[in-house]
Amino acid sequence: MNIGSNDALIVVDVQNDFCPGGTAAVEDGDAVARKMSDVALNFRSRDGRVFATQDWHPTDHRSFADNGGIWPTHCVRGSQGAEFHKDLKLPIGSSIVRKGEDVEGDAYSGFDGTSLESHLERLSVRRVFVGGLSTEYAVQHTVYDALQKGYSAFVITDAISAVNANPDDDQRALDSMLASGAKPITTDELIGQ
């Protein structure tokens, strides 16, 4: 696939707390980190833009079970759990987009309360390629918002992983993204191997 300056890769929440050993870990999170690293480096070498979203919650975030929410405490700003996975190598020039900083907002989407859209507009981005963690939450909501905002959106199907609180949540989320207009692509297809 031809990649250029009007294309953006969105690496979604590839953080320690969402990877094995983290407080809200998904299966294969570390493998997703490695795949997204390969894609990001290749993408940037072809003049594509690279953005990485990062949950960056205050300790009293309402989504945490200790505060009445449904999630274990995760990705508290400045904590080791909020840091990107060690195998995620972002190229020079990548932009970090922090989300979930408001105590009241879940901020699943990379567009929710962030500067992501203004960056994409300034760079005249037309297509976004989305991968990361987790499929049925942050990835899905980021894809939905990208489509709603008029971007052509691709889901990197072998570089996502799900919580799967219910069996097959991952497949239902992927089917829903594709039914909404997103296109599937694999890392090999994107990198051109």
Length of the chain counted residue by residue: 193
Kindly state the average pLDDT of the residues 78-90: 97
CA separation for the pair 13, 99 (Å, rounded): 10
Distances (CA, A) of 162 to 113, 126, 171: 23, 27, 9
* pLDDT tens figures, 40-67: 999 999 999 999 999 999 999 999 999 9
CA separation for the pair 183, 177 (Å, rounded): 8
* pLDDT tens figures, 168-192: 999 999 999 999 999 999 999 999 8
Band (pLDDT 50/70/90 cuts) for residue 193 is low
CATH annotation of 7-191: 3.40.50.850
So what's the pLDDT on residue 192? Answer: 82
Show the beta-strand stretches assigned E in the chain.
Answer: 7-12, 49-55, 95-99, 127-133, 152-161, 183-185
Residue 7 token pair: 């294309």
| Cβ neighbours of residue 142 closer than 8 Å, sequence gap 6 or more | 10, 12, 53, 108, 109, 110, 111, 130
Band (pLDDT 50/70/90 cuts) for residue 117 is very high
Domain extents in the chain: 7-191
